[in-house]
Structure 1
């Protein structure tokens, strides 16, 4: 019996049922605010939604118009989605008729100058958040920063580690197993692009008159690649060629922290030309390849909750890996929340498989193979007969996908027994056909709809339908009063932060980077 089957047999024992019902999950969903015509909102983040700096659930990402809705950690996937739905409903009730754009790639934007950078008030920490975004605009352009995604945070309960062959009292062992999961993820992240990629097409305005070296086809202003899955995750979208020189290892926690700390200290000749503080105005936090660690673009991150003033790498070095953040997910435009329950359950299966299948360290050859596979799938993954490389040998995508789903099916049986229902088997059945039939993937459905109706018109209609559905529903987990209270507290918290600052902003930045 191989190691995977042995692990499945062990997990099948009833003593682990409680632990298997205790996966920790959180969602961060980004969405652009748009007006009724589908154009990017130009007004500030609504004051009626509280402070974007301090609200725990409702904030902004790069732009005042790029909302980010965040859930707390939930063990019940239905409670997780209920919280996200309640937050969506509340937000839409305070947007004065505006909608949330349902796609990852941006809507009609006349110019990158019409993408207002997020503002976080006058506190030192708020000004730093805005300045970081000013630096991103200077480095990569505002249009790339207006791309929306969905992040899925995942960890297993401490009580499950023993079943996975890990000493749950040894944080070093736990971190090592999470880094093994990161390597599994990198080797198989093409699966998420294939199944859940939802950006095969885009509005021509996104390119701002430039034509990248991609064989786009065009129909009524819609640009697309016939077999693409996720243009968002291609070089056209949310990636960063300037970071190609950075080699941040995921072979161990120590190597990762070392490489990340090195990365934020490498000077960049290109970014030095921008200037840091010019005529008294900051243009970026510094002229290094990375301004701060969050600028490292990666389809997955090891994470630990940070303390005040603590960097992500310092938090990891202090306490080890607490959870992983899945970052390669496009927004699902057919779902008002940007993600479906079946997708959440399939991510559980994918990530649990990654924790079970202990992965050897990755070398440069494997890194190159993984990167090539991912690029193939995001740009051309639905092509009939598509092949990839696995350990230096050619394999049909459909065959590899079917192998993975066979393993997930074993895990689905275990998890369904633990829950006393058929939720995981049903979720897997909903996606199993896509393994051999690319027309059942999200990207195929998105492309068909956008070409039939016109990219912008279809997406605008979906935005309107989602808005109506979310406005018509009742709160199921939160209440209006609790959401109002969170808004009021966030405004008070921002005011307190602004009142408590000491010293100048220059001194604050110097102290931050000195630490």
Structure 2
């Protein structure tokens, strides 16, 4: 079967290379969402409110918050150029540092000195119904999964293929489907294949092989002790994506079908409408205070944790599943990238370029529907690579058998490299090919991966995880302080957007026509369920 699959992807790549226009794979749109905890100068979690100079977390399109008031989230526009993306990320970090006083931005995915659950402040979004809903949702996450888990940060990579690709690919595939359905079908194929091959992202870019003892709370006693303050996995790549972090067992029983967009939407809606006994025990509104939005298996769609999601930009007030049903898949959101402590903004251009070519590979490779055995395989491979991906003896599951990580990785890289060459042809450079070549070296040399380099630096400098991250946070602050000033027009854009966002929040608060109880009732009745 593997030979057949490889032949199909090679045929598709050859068709695009020989018959596609020069720019058939170039100028795809990329976006980054990067989270960073605000910490005090001693590394403790900041308990200060979201800085007003950064605007409203509810309405600023560039700077918002995630779970906690201290967990900043930088949201880029969609760019075709990775250079433009890096420019934005550098500027938004620079802009932020100039407005947070002596506070620092934590530079790793795994938090450290954050105390107990109750010491982690929930993000606040004002008094509007939509703002209150966001905070109650986060409160529910805390009850369901614990606040510490929600303080883990990451980088999300959003990507959509260029329009020119879809027109030509539709013709090459001789498809009779309407374009929206054709696009959705192949994006869902991409999503399935990312689940099949996404272990490679953890291996290549995982940057969380160690954690602070304070994060552990006595759990996961099987982990190795690095020193008195740090636990680690000797061959670990991304503890963030292991059962220690996002891939915990709490949602193990939830499995959203990826075999079609309709199935995926229906499964999400069902999970929102299906009551969960352990969440019913928490209650929704207790003594006049909302603990969570509902007792459903999911409060809303975003609660479902997945390494990749099919997405569509929603209209104002439109639910994500309604947007997908209306217009199909517009882009994918990859959620398995760690913050890389080795890069001041947490990611670099080579990573973005590889991810783009890799996602195109996931789309072009044959993607049969998932069955029960497939789910077992992808889950096992994900967990193995997250916790022991650099183990030279590691074997992964594929097609009912086992294969070495290096052997499988080389085969994937070969096709990703061919895709990079097509992108480069349209870009007039060799940047994408070089990016893939750089990752190819890591397949053969696990010691060159970010996770291995982090552990090696800890050993060489005799540093625990906290001290390593703290030193890097101080260096990164100096890096941004030493950058040339942001161009006046772009600085004005960031400042004006922050000011406008505060006015927009006030307008939203003044325009509410329903009580919060009524607002939630309408929200869930539109879903077709109520609590």
With structure 1 as the length reference, what TM-score do the two structures score? 0.97
Residues 163-312 of structure 1: matches in 2 within 5 Å?
163-164=168-169, 165=172, 170-208=179-217, 210-212=218-220, 214-312=222-320
Distance 2:348 2:478 in 1: 18
Contact 2:61–2:75 under 8 Å retained in 1: yes
Change (3 A) 1:347 1:124: same
Name structure 1 gaps, 5 residues minimum.
none
RMSD: 1.6
> Do structure 1's residue 341 and structure 2's residue 349 form an aligned pair?
yes
- Equivalence for 1:113: 118
Which residue of the partner structure matches residue 469 of structure 1?
479
Aligned position for 2:69: 64
Kept in 2: contact 1:203–1:222 (CA 8 A): yes
Give secondary structure in 1 for the equivalent of 2:411: helix
Cα offset, 1:325, TM superposition: 0.4
1:146 is aligned, of 127, 139, 151, to 151
What SS is found at the alignment partner of 1:44? Answer: coil
2:138 corresponds in structure 1 to 133
CA drift of 1:15 comes to 5.3
2:325 aligned residue (299, 317, 328): 317
Please tell me whether the aligned partners of residues 55 and 501 of structure 2 are also in contact (alpha carbons under 8 angstroms): yes
Using the TM superposition, give the Cα deviation of residue 14 of structure 1 relative to its aligned residue in structure 2, in angstroms. Answer: 7.8
What residue in structure 2 maps to residue 92 of structure 1? 97
SS at match of 1:27: strand
- Tell me, what secondary structure is at the counterpart of 1:328? strand
Q: 1:284-328 CA deviation, whole Å, 9 max, x = no partner?
A: 001111111110111100000111222111111111000000011
Please say if residues 190 and 373 of structure 1, whose CA atoms lie closer than 8 Å, have aligned partners that are also in contact.
yes
| Count of matched residue positions in the alignment of Structure 1 and Structure 2 | 514
The 5-angstrom pairing of residues 435-454 of structure 1 reads 435-451=443-459, 452-454=462-464
Alpha-carbon distance in 1 for matches of 2:497, 2:37: 22
Q: Is the 8 A contact 1:195 1:434 kept in 2?
A: yes
Match of 2:22, SS state, is helix
Aligned-partner Cα distance in 2 for 1:507–1:449: 55
CA contact (8 A) 1:189 1:374 kept: yes
Change (3 A) 1:268 1:15: closer
Q: Residue deviations 1:136-162, cap 9 Å, x none?
A: 111111100000011000011121113
Q: Distance in 1 between matches of 2:345 and 2:51?
A: 20
Query: 1:372-407: per-residue Cα shift (whole Å, max 9, x none)?
Result: 111111111111121111101111101111111111
Deviations along 1:144-181, whole A, 9 cap, x unmatched?
A: 00000110000111211133335696100110000000
Match of residue 54 from structure 1: 59
Counterparts in 2 of 1:405-424, with a 5 A limit? 405-424=413-432
Q: How far apart, in 1, do the equivalents of 2:350 and 2:517 lie?
A: 48
Write the distance in 2 (CA, Å) between the matches of 1:461 and 1:318: 48
CA contact (8 A) 2:350 2:435 kept: yes
SS of 2:397's equivalent?
strand
More divergent stretch after superposition (343-352 vs 162-171): 162-171
2:39, 2:104 within 8 Å by CA — same for their partners in 1? yes
Deviation at 1:420, TM superposition (A): 1.5
The Cα offsets for residues 401-451 of structure 1, whole Å up to 9 and x where unpaired, read as 111111112122222222111101211222212102211111111122234
Is contact 1:198-1:442 (8 Å) kept? yes
Cα displacement (A) at 1:213: 5.1
More displaced 10-residue stretch of structure 1: 350-359 or 474-483: 474-483
Q: Distance in 2 between matches of 1:220 and 1:97?
A: 28
* SS of residue matched to 1:4: helix
Q: C-alpha separation between the residues in 1 aligned to 2:162 and 2:419?
A: 17
Tell whether the 8 Å contact from 2:239 to 2:245 is kept in structure 1 after alignment: yes
Structure 2 counterpart SS, 1:17: coil
For residue 28 of structure 1, the aligned residue among 23, 26, 33 is 33
3-state SS, counterpart of residue 334 of structure 2: strand
Say whether residues 1:425 and 2:430 are aligned partners: no
Residues 178-199 of structure 1 show CA distances to partners (whole Å, capped at 9, x for unaligned) of: 0000111000010001111111
Shift of 1:217: 2.6
Kept in 2, the 8 Å contact 1:83–1:477? The answer is no
Q: Summarize the Cα distance change of 1:67–1:317 in structure 2 as closer, same or farther, 3 Å threshold.
A: same
Distance, in Å, in 2 between the alignment partners of 1:393 and 1:4 is 21
8 Å CA contact 2:417, 2:437 repeated in 1: no
Deviation at 1:456, TM superposition (A): 0.9
Confirm or deny: 8 A CA contact 1:86 1:478 kept in the other structure.
Answer: no
Distance 1:137 1:234, change over 3 A: same
The alpha carbon displacement at 1:218 in A equals: 3.1
